[in-house]
Structure 1
Amino acid sequence: MARGRRRRERRNVRRAQREQAAEREALERRWFRRIEHAPERATEVTAGRARTLPRHRWLPYRQGFSPALVARFLEETAERRDPARPVLDPFSGSGTTVIECARRGVAALGVEPVGGLVAATALALSTEPPPALPALPDDAGPAQLERVLSHPAHRGCLWIALARGRRGDGGRRRSGGSLPERLAATHAAVCEDTARDPVAARGLAICGDARALPVRSASVGAVLTSPPYVSRFDYVAVAGPLARALGLGRGRARRHQLPAALRRRGGRQAGSAGGEGGLHPAARECHALLLAREQYREAHVVARYTRDMGRAIAELARVCVPGAPAWIVVGGAFVREVYFPADLILAELAERAGFELERVVCARHLAHSAGRRLGGLERVLPRESILQMRRVR
């Protein structure tokens, strides 16, 4: 009898696990045959080589993609892009898309909520080397340097120097030299690259929110972007030191940034985010599981991220001309052991908004384990995928 009871308990556990994963399992099965696995493209979705390339090397963010992806995008979409309209990156970050397009003679527009990142991208798009730095004290801090440096290019160098002193999660780096040393090294790299690697087209970076783009309807010829991933990395935290010193509006950037960073603080009220109503079914399932486990902060992030990405994709549909190609690089995650398939959720949100998915390319998996069970599926892992699509209506 005891053995039979244990068997029934195991069956009940498996049944409960299947019920808790039903929507995400169904999503994976719907897209299973459409996902192309291309591990040779893993280097395109990471920023590794950017650390050695002109203009990109000034601010090598871990969460960026490679200039090689921009080159592939421009080559493969050349016949479908309207050359009279810009390529848009609504999550511009460190400016990879805009900078590389400008280097290759293609007009581009980057939208980014963090003022410092906009300043750094504008510096990378400059055509003239900055003037020499004034004499600076060896122990100068951000506020003192801000008072001394009045030239926009110098202030852009200062922002980059400050950002290079922070990790992706906002923590302070233990090495890298003093702030004046980092500033001098940044200024030298800017002068060198501006002189030997001129940009061939006009690029523009502006402050803005991807959920309410400051861009005219039907004015964009193509999109290449990578929204924030649900992870511990936080661009606004990295920008915080300069925002406090120079008054660049950290609070404004936080309001206009998608809530993707899984910060440590949080309470019961953080899990609301409007509840589950209106969420994609797979995201709703993740949200409910996290709430049941009292992971309120994480539940809040999943719900807000999904809703806000829906708004951002709807904005892309508004600003793109019919037929415009759009590539989105996005990664899934294990959120407190709960599998969150962000790439496939965004693929279905894009289809609802008026895009046709042409390819879903899995460039790599984002977990180093053998994977986990998801209902009846074995060894499921979050992917970093390139959603290749076009605007159809």
Structure 2
Amino acid sequence: MAEQLNRMYEDLNPPHQLPLFGALRPLADSKPTACVELADARHFTGEIEDYADIIITSPPYLNRYDYSRIYSLELCLAFCKDFNELKQVRHSLLRSHIESREPPTNDVKHPALIEVLDNLKGQNLNNPRIPVMIKGYFEDMNLAIKELYKVCQPGARVALVIGNSRFHGELIPVDLLLSELAADAGFGVERIIIARYKGNSSQQMGRYGRVPVRESICIWRKNA
């Protein structure tokens, strides 16, 4: 444990720090304030007094994790009165899991995404809803990226941590696709930093071999 803590401490100190944004300007003399908004990142309706100049975030990965199921106990203790409410939460989440519903929009027509969906069509998938999830994920992330652009002030930067995915042997370059959606929304894509490579599930490796999957930090900038 001590060795692990020491490694974590070293990661937070130079020269291990990644220079994501360059030199940051010092805080003003006044004490910083915090504001918490409860809203859907795809349709942000809160009133914002000051636009953001830095956003650091990590949305759900396209990995079938249903967070409403993982945290169902916590949700039922404090947020959901019964299973029907829990199911409503599940169906309203960003579409990164199999329980996601058909996307209400059809705005993302990126050639790489269409190719992935075409390659999965007719395949003997372990869950037939995987293509629906993939399509819904990029539709939802497209909406969220547009909202990010709205709340950024000119010159603001976004650092988005995301992992690529692999289904039925089909590799999905999520970092590249989201960066192209960010460019369509008006961001400039400064760079994509590869943070690490992840392995695959035992089922994927047994059937299709091991292909390292990137986990990346996408750096976008709203042009002045």
Query: Normalized against structure 1, the TM-score is what?
Result: 0.44
CA offsets 1:127-165 (integer angstroms, 9 cap, x no match):
xxxxxxxxxxxxxxxxxxxxxxxxxxxxxxxxxxxxxxx
Structure-to-structure mapping, 1:53-68, within 5 angstroms:
none
In structure 1, the residue matched to 2:214 is 383
* 1:289 corresponding residue in structure 2: 119
Which residue of the other structure, out of 208, 219, 222, is the alignment partner of 2:54?
Answer: 222
Residues 251 and 202 of structure 1, relative CA distance in 2, 3 Å threshold: farther
Partner amino acid, structure 2, of 1:366: K
Q: Residue in 2 aligned with 1:300?
A: 132
Corresponding position: 1:311 with 2:147: no
Mapping of residues 293-372 of structure 1, within 5 Å:
293-295=123-125, 296-367=128-199
Counterpart for residue 250 of structure 1: 86
| 1:392 maps to 2:223 | yes
Deviation of 1:279 after TM superposition, in Å, equals: 2.5
Specify the structure having the higher radius of gyration (Cα).
1
**Separation in 2 of the partners of 1:275 and 1:315?**
15
Deviation per CA, 1:332-354, whole angstroms, max 9, x where unpaired? 11112211110100011111111
Query: Residue 160 of structure 2 contacts residue 219 of structure 2 at CA under 8 Å; is this kept in 1?
Result: yes
CA distance in 1, matches of 2:152, 2:170: 34
Flag structure 2 segments of 5+ consecutive residues without an equivalent.
none
The equivalent of 1:76 in structure 2 is 22
Measured on the aligned residues, the alpha-carbon RMSD in Å equals 3.7
Q: Conserved in 1, the CA contact under 8 Å of 2:61 and 2:96?
A: yes
Alpha carbons of 1:67 and 1:280: their partners in 2 closer, same or farther (altered >3 Å)? farther
1:73 is displaced (CA, Å) by: 7.1
Deviations along 1:278-337, whole A, 9 cap, x unmatched?
Answer: 332211211222222154311011100011111110111111100001100111111122
Alpha-carbon separation, structure 2, partners of 1:291 and 1:75: 41
Amino acid at match of 2:153: V
Question: Going by fraction, where is strand more abundant, 1 or 2?
Answer: 2
Conserved 8 A contact 1:329-1:386: yes
Partner of 2:52: helix, strand, or coil? coil
| Counterpart Cα distance in 2 of 1:74 and 1:361 | 9
Please give the residue correspondences for 1:124-139 in structure 2 after superposition, counting only pairs within 5 Å: none
Stretches of structure 1 that go unaligned for 5 or more consecutive residues are: 1-47, 54-65, 85-104, 107-199, 373-378
> Among the aligned pairs, what percent are the same residue?
28
Q: Which one has the bigger helix percentage?
A: 1
Q: Distance in 1 between matches of 2:124 and 2:107?
A: 19
Q: Distance in 2 between matches of 1:291 and 1:335?
A: 12
Cα distance change of structure 1 residues 76 and 252 upon mapping to structure 2, 3 Å threshold: farther
Whole-angstrom CA distance in 1 between matches of 2:93 and 2:19: 25
- Counterpart residue identity of residue 327, structure 1: A
